[in-house]
Amino acid sequence: MKNVLLLLCSALVVYVAPMVVLAADVYQITAQGAISPPVSQFISDSIKKAADNRAEALIVLLDTPGGLDTSMREIVKTIMDASVPVIVYVYPSGARAASAGAIILIASHVAAMAPGTNVGAAHPVSVGGGKPDKEMMAKVVHDAEAYAKSLAAKRGRNVEWAAKAVTESVSVTANEALDARVIDVMATSVDDLLAKVDGRTVEVGDRKIVLTTKGAKVIPLATPFKYRFLAFMSDPNVAYLLMMIGFYGILFEIYSPGAVFPGVIGGISLILAFYAFQTIPISYAGLSLILLGIVFFVLELKVASYGLLSIAGMVSIVIGSIMLIDLPSTWLSISWQSIFAVALLTIIFFVLVLSYAVKAQLSKVRTGTEGLLGEIGEAKSDLLPEGKVFIHGELWKARSESPVSEGERVVVTAVEGMTVKVRKA
């Protein structure tokens, strides 16, 4: 009897076990804003964490206007080498995967979009000021086109559209992308996405994996403070403001030695700005114009130019700011609000703050023997020609070329050792 029961239990387990398949956890991260080195590192770390914890997949909620080619390629390489499926989901409605974001979407194991989103406009642009050489730009475009086509072919997506997105800056809606086989799924929410990709077979490395995502637990991974801070520093407007604060802080410390605080703030701001400029290609011509503008303002304090140097400095700083990142209408441009704020602060800084510092340096010495010159005192005895005077709260031996009576006011004209020369006030 025992053997029969054991046999029946074993049969039941064999029959029921395949029906009870619990989906593993699905990790989820958000990549918003420009594609930059901090974003690239965050995505890379998240893929590694998902793989180490044996997650079913990693969902990347993407909303980006584009970004740096180097950072985009790092993300693509990480996705291609990942040991866990990466689902890139352009979400929520109103989001976009433009420029570098379009290439990342094409490279994903599963490409998905929410209604009301768009993808495309992946034509490469040159940064750093000045018009690029036509032949060199053509090479860049052809390289980007071949890159997009190879990724689309690898994932079985529309190769022709991928090429047009690069060469013609084609952009499509979520519905159009689904019809054109640019993406695999259109979903209204993360739960809807998980239900629609369930059972889909994806190629991860040299393996084929069947996704089991329906009803899976979604574990959001928060962006670490380090990456949020570095991404904030990489914003062109923030980097620009930090650079100007750094220049002014160092300059104020030079004009007013010992203040310490402006010098410390200036040094830290410049270091942070230089970090940002490593990730944001800048125009050195624009940077030179900004420095020249600061020189003009400094000279205004030394030379009587009747405001001409100030005007020249303002024009130089504004033009240099516009040229610093010469890429209007993109995420890399510096806003007019930032330029206006810097111009206004520059006027206030040089006209008020530095003028006070210069006046303090040129003002009369108030300590030591030099501080006695011109001071008013009172004769405590008759000066015929020598006597005693009370100056600066002290009793001094004094000599006068003309007689001075006790109680009369006197002015110090010279200091000779421990004797002051005075005259009637």
| Mean pLDDT of the 289-313 span | 79
Q: Tell me whether residue 87 is in a domain.
A: yes
Q: Last residue of some domain: 325, 343, 362?
A: 362
Q: How far apart are CA 367 and CA 291, in angstroms?
A: 37
**pLDDT at residue number 297:** 77
Residues 42 and 168 in one domain: yes
Structure confidence at residue 133 (pLDDT): 65
With respect to residue 282, please indicate whether it lies within any of the assigned structural domains.
yes
**221 and 101 in one domain?**
yes
Residues 6+ apart with CB under 8 A from 380: 387, 388, 389, 390, 395, 406
Q: Model confidence over 155-175: pLDDT tens digits?
A: 999 999 999 999 999 999 999
Same domain, 388 and 311: no
Give yes or no: residues 354 and 397 share one domain: no
Whether residue 12 is predicted with pLDDT greater than 50 in this model: the reply is no
pTM of the model: 0.70
pLDDT of residue 359 exceeding 80, the answer is no
Q: 279 and 156 share a domain?
A: no
Q: In the prediction, which pLDDT does 140 show?
A: 87
- Burial label for 361, CB within 10 Å (0-12, 13-18, 19+), is exposed
Say if residue 29 is in the same domain as residue 130.
yes
Residues 211, 277 within the same domain: no
Domain boundary among 318, 340, 362: 362
pLDDT at 210: 95
For range 294-299, the mean pLDDT: 80
Residue 37 lies in a domain: yes
Say if residue 200 is in the same domain as residue 313: no
419 part of a folded domain: yes
**Confidence band, pLDDT 50/70/90 cuts, at residue 295:** confident
More confident: 367 or 385: 385
Residues 59 and 124 in one domain: yes
The residues that are catalytic are: 99, 139
Kindly state whether residues 357 and 402 are assigned to the same domain: no
For 37-48, the pLDDT digits (tens) are 899 999 999 999
Across 70-84, 188-202, 312-326, least confident range = 312-326
- The verdict on residue 17 lying in a domain is no
Q: Return the SS3 of 7.
A: helix
Are residues 281 and 179 both part of a single domain? no
Please determine, for residue 271, whether its predicted confidence score (pLDDT) is greater than 70: yes
Q: Return the number of other C-beta atoms located less than 10 Å from residue 366's C-beta.
A: 10
Q: Per-residue pLDDT tens for 388-416? A: 888 877 888 888 888 888 888 888 888 87
Upstream peptide bond of 115 is cis (omega within 30 degrees of 0): no
pLDDT at position 103 is 96
CATH number where 393 lies? 2.40.50.140
Beta pairing partners, 90: 62, 113
Domain of 105, CATH number, reads 3.90.226.10
Note whether residue 9 is domain-resident: no
pLDDT category of residue 356 using cuts at 50, 70 and 90: low
pLDDT band at 14; cut points 50, 70, 90: very low
4 in any annotated domain:
no
When pLDDT is cut at 50, 70 and 90, the band that residue 366 belongs to is low
- In the prediction, which pLDDT does 16 show? 42
Whether residues 220 and 315 share a domain: the answer is no
The pLDDT, as a whole number, for residue 360 is 61
Mean pLDDT of the chain: 83
Assess whether pLDDT exceeds 70 at residue 31. Answer: yes
Are 157 and 111 within 8 A, CB to CB? yes
Given a cut of 50, is residue 13 above it in pLDDT?
Answer: no
Indicate whether 1 pLDDT > 60. Answer: no
Decide: residue 247, CB within 10 A, 0-12 exposed, 13-18 middle, 19+ buried.
buried
Q: What is the mean pLDDT of residues 192-203?
A: 94
**Among the listed ranges 6-20, 72-86, 95-109, 333-347, which one has the minimum average pLDDT value?**
6-20
Question: Higher confidence at residue 348 or residue 399?
Answer: 399
Q: Residue 294: what pLDDT?
A: 81
Q: Which domain holds residue 39?
A: 23-226
Of the three residues 322, 340, 362, the one that is the final residue of a domain is 362
CA distances from 280 to 35, 67, 103 (A): 11, 10, 20
Backbone CA torsion sign across 263, 264, 270, 274: positive
Q: Which helix (H) or strand (E) holds 403?
A: none
Q: Who has greater pLDDT, 83 or 262?
A: 83
The answer as to whether 331 is a domain residue is yes
Tally of domains in the chain: 3
Reported confidence tier of residue 279, pLDDT bands at 50, 70, 90: low
Query: 318 versus 95: which is more confidently predicted?
Result: 95
High-pLDDT (> 70) share of the chain, %: 83
Mean pLDDT, range 77-96, rounded to an integer: 96
